[in-house]
Structure 1
Amino acid sequence: MAPEARIKVFLKTSATALCAGAVALSSFSLGAEAARRHYRSHHHHLPELPAAPPRALPYPQLPLPLEIPGAQYLPLAWADVKGWGDDNHLAAYKTFRASCRPINAQTGAPEPKALGASLGEPCRVAKSLELTDDARAKTFFEENFAPLRISRLGEPDGFVTGYYEPVLEGSRTQTDVYNVPVYRRPSNLFVRGYKQDSVSLPNKGPVYRKIGRRKLVPYYDRAEIEDGKIAGRGLEIAWLKDPTDLLFAQIQGSARIKFDDGGTVRLNYDAYNGYPYTAVGRILIERGIIPKEEMSMQKIREWMAQTPDGAKELRRQNRSYIFFREVNLSDKEEAVGAQGIPLTAGRSIAVDKSLHVYGTPFFIEGELPIDSERAKTPFHRLMIAQDTGSAIIGPARADLYFGAGQDAGRVSGRLRHAMHFVMLVPKSLDPTTRGARLPVPDPRPSEKIAKLFPQTEPAKDKPPAELQSKSETVAVAGPVPLPVPRPVIEPVQEPRRPVKNRSHRQQ
């Protein structure tokens, strides 16, 4: 073969070998990369994509000036508050000033509720005003408060009952006549978050009986206590004639016990045994024993006196049991409420402490059977929240305090009535004033934009299909959805083709 031909054959063979090597190397590289991806996908979690940040609102989210769970409100003008001008505002002002004493004396952080801090402003004003004129007292409330109609969500009115301080006959020692013990708080009664010697433990929430140093079990209920579970421990403050007297003293939360020697002991609520209050009157209504329209405390007493065995069973339906403490008050002073100050007959009310703040004024208007059981006496009075009770639950629920003795008991015992509630809100929390400072939201989108984002899911309150227009399109007020991130697609490894060895013949 000629030298030129040999060189051509050599170059051609070398080029063919280089191409085959390049193909083999590229196939190996692709296979290795596919293997690495397969390993990562099966042995290592892919990093999670960060969540899309929430869209910013076109206007700021400002906190509401007043929020009471489960309540609805309606701002009013003073001229729209029925009976406002007919009340004795000076008497209400004196009761409000009494509530201001503990409010002005607060040194720590105010209550978390909105009213907890705002009541300090009108209380500071009242501290320097010794008013003796009814007109000036009326002006004080109008200048420092705004009226706000309040009720439970979906209901037009509130609900009131009455309470009083019973005056009972008793003995310092147990006798055949006086054999119903009035107990002070036992030392083994425990409430989480409170020391065992704290004054006036809460009347809601769990209560435990402490066994040893660590074990806690639910405390005894009324039946167990009446059967003597805590008897003989020196807890008896006094002894009464009738267990019904004790039951109603516990319902009222305070009592005066007069002894044969002329002495008197004043009792106030101190703790309860952890069981929810059950109204015995409601049980009698449900059993058809006393009609609802005739229900009163006097009717309950009469039935219990006539059926002692039934009275015992009825009492035990209310598993709640109240323990008392002695207070140093004279017979001329009223009972002390949960705010820690003496109540004012006809002006103090008990409210739901989980929703309201002591010292809040409430104007209550309607008709009540004050003069007699069938009377409809107009009642429009400014009351001050100074007490609480386990049965007082809701934003427009109040227990009206009527004082001490049988007359007060007769009036309060027949109150179970719907009434209008107007809460006096300090001007700093006036929702109308605060609402005027809120920015106006952006205008509604145009019809063209609304058609681009039609409603895809039927609304809950959507009318029947036959009532809707076929061409009706409802725009969805919501953020524009972000595109779905691209999926990670793993490459599929193709099977490698075998490389055939070709023989190069010399020519």
Structure 2
Amino acid sequence: MLWGAGDPRPAKAETDYQILDFDDLNGWAADDHRAALSAFMETCPDLKDQDWRTLCAIAPSFGDATLFFELLFRPVEISDKRAALFTGYFEPEMNGSRVKTARFRYPVYRKPPEVREGTLWKSRREIETTDIMKNRGLEIAWVDDPTALFFTQIQGSGRIRLQDGSYIRLGYRASNGFRYRSVGAELVRRGIYKSHQVSAKVIGTWVRRNGAAGEELLRHNPGYVFFRVIRNVPAHKGPLGAMNRPLTKLRSAAVDPRYVKLGAPVWIEKRGADPINQLFIAQDTGSAIKGAQRADIFFGTGEAAGQAAGRLRDPGRMIVLLPIQRAYALLPETVM
């Protein structure tokens, strides 16, 4: 997901804070805290407050990752009276070419210079069916699947796998300013599927089977995303999150930065099918991630990651790990 920064001070008057013990965290002792510490160190250099900087300076010298978290942090449950919700996201991967061919004919565009973030420009239909983008040299590459490109735009980042085995990594640059309209909901409205049947895979299959009508369905969503090329992230690492650092599969999460400081460890207890009890690092944000108990879990790159992420929509609870003094400073003063 994309965008944002913040500090976990009260975003609303009804925000509550409760300090817990590590024994209160279900499954804490069984987790791989070394993996979480490795992800934490990925974004430590970007934490500027003195208490966080001190922890980042100490972290490399700790031989015991569990001891690092238990000695220097306190678990804090932050509540804004809204129910917890956990979803998943991923980095799509497309097959592509640096030149247009009969197979690779769907362009991935850079931002046109006249586009201004936050203002309306041309709709998806105008971008795809008129000459507005022609002969301007804005193509980053060409891909073979319009649905994969569509969902890469929704995710805000992705990778293009070229025929020689190399990759082009894409990052969000700008949008045309139109709000997203669900093509899945449109298929339900047309009576083609029931709501419980719709998924990214189902949409992709329908688009491929229906040719021009399938591509026209995607234009039901007028929103369009332009990309930039990310050049300094190795292929084995994840995409850049909101902190402009690579995300880590099943260790990075997108949060609402009004409640959770970006870079903070967050303990997630996801219920439902395939429960998760694990320490993540809040390294990303997203336009749909709103609330103190709302998080989006990063599942990695590619089709399998996308399928796993798409199945996730479960309740649970999220606990933020904060430096000790910062944790206790959140509690209301006791009236004597």
Residue of 60, 63, 67 corresponding to 1:130: 60
Deviation, structure 1 residue 239: 0.7
Deviation, structure 1 residue 67: 0.1
- C-alpha RMSD over aligned residues: 2.6
Deviation, structure 1 residue 91: 1.1
Shift in CA distance, 430/282, structure 1 to aligned 2, threshold 3 Å: farther
Q: Structure with the greater relative contact order (CA < 8 A, sep ≥ 6): 1 or 2?
A: 2
Listed as ranges, the gaps of 5+ residues in structure 1 are: 1-64, 105-116, 192-205, 208-217, 369-375, 441-507
Q: Could you give the per-residue CA deviations for residues 64-107 of structure 1, whole angstroms, max 9, x where no partner exists? A: x9302386435133322222222111211121122111124xxx
Shift in CA distance, 394/277, structure 1 to aligned 2, threshold 3 Å: farther
1:490 corresponding residue in structure 2? none
- Which aligned pairs between 1:45-194 and structure 2 lie closer than 5 A? 66-69=9-12, 72-75=15-18, 76-104=20-48, 117=49, 120-130=50-60, 133=63, 136-153=64-81, 155=82, 157-191=83-117
Tell me if the contact between 2:260 and 2:320 (Cα under 8 Å) persists in the aligned partners: no
Deviation, structure 1 residue 439: 3.3
Residue of 323, 326, 330 corresponding to 1:426: 323
Tell me if the contact between 2:78 and 2:259 (Cα under 8 Å) persists in the aligned partners: no
Tell me if the contact between 1:276 and 1:390 (Cα under 8 Å) persists in the aligned partners: no
Shift in CA distance, 245/70, structure 1 to aligned 2, threshold 3 Å: farther
2:125 corresponding residue in structure 1? 223
Tell me if the contact between 1:131 and 1:137 (Cα under 8 Å) persists in the aligned partners: no
Deviation, structure 1 residue 377: 1.7
Q: Aligned partners of 2:162, 2:21: CA distance in 1, in Å?
A: 52
Q: Aligned partners of 2:205, 2:114: CA distance in 1, in Å?
A: 36
Tell me if the contact between 2:62 and 2:68 (Cα under 8 Å) persists in the aligned partners: no
Deviation, structure 1 residue 345: 0.8
Q: Aligned partners of 1:231, 1:90: CA distance in 2, in Å?
A: 50
Deviation, structure 1 residue 281: 3.4
Q: Aligned partners of 2:221, 2:13: CA distance in 1, in Å?
A: 27
Q: Aligned partners of 2:66, 2:13: CA distance in 1, in Å?
A: 30
Q: Could you give the per-residue CA deviations for residues 343-398 of structure 1, whole angstroms, max 9, x where no partner exists? A: 11110112234554310222111235xxxxxxx22211111111222333333222
| Runs of 4+ with deviation above 6 angstroms | none
1:19 corresponding residue in structure 2? none
DSSP-derived class of the 2:44 partner: helix
Residue of 235, 251, 255 corresponding to 1:331: 235
Shift in CA distance, 73/305, structure 1 to aligned 2, threshold 3 Å: farther
DSSP-derived class of the 1:384 partner: strand
1:350 corresponding residue in structure 2? 254
Give the number of aligned pairs: 326
Q: Aligned partners of 2:134, 2:304: CA distance in 1, in Å?
A: 34
DSSP-derived class of the 1:141 partner: helix
1:439 corresponding residue in structure 2? 335
DSSP-derived class of the 1:303 partner: helix
1:277 corresponding residue in structure 2? 180
DSSP-derived class of the 1:304 partner: helix
Q: Aligned partners of 2:317, 2:192: CA distance in 1, in Å?
A: 30
With the length of structure 1 as denominator, give the TM-score of the two structures.
Answer: 0.59
Structure 1 stretch 266-275 or stretch 139-148: which is displaced more? 139-148
% identical equivalent positions: 37
Deviation, structure 1 residue 249: 1.1
DSSP-derived class of the 1:219 partner: coil
Deviation, structure 1 residue 187: 0.8
Q: Aligned partners of 2:240, 2:256: CA distance in 1, in Å?
A: 17
**AA partner of residue 179 (structure 1):** R
DSSP-derived class of the 2:271 partner: strand
1:492 corresponding residue in structure 2? none
Deviation, structure 1 residue 237: 0.4
Tell me if the contact between 2:17 and 2:79 (Cα under 8 Å) persists in the aligned partners: no
Structure 1 stretch 422-431 or stretch 393-402: which is displaced more? 422-431
Deviation, structure 1 residue 407: 2.0
Is 1:254 matched with 2:167?
Answer: no
Deviation, structure 1 residue 418: 2.2
Q: Aligned partners of 2:219, 2:183: CA distance in 1, in Å?
A: 9
Structure 1 or 2, whichever has the larger Rg, is: 1
**AA partner of residue 121 (structure 1):** D
Q: Aligned partners of 2:13, 2:179: CA distance in 1, in Å?
A: 21
Q: Could you give the per-residue CA deviations for residues 287-324 of structure 1, whole angstroms, max 9, x where no partner exists? A: 55444444432222223333345533432232221111
Structure having the larger proportion of residues in strand:
2
DSSP-derived class of the 1:420 partner: strand
Shift in CA distance, 292/160, structure 1 to aligned 2, threshold 3 Å: farther
1:417 corresponding residue in structure 2? 314
1:388 corresponding residue in structure 2? 285
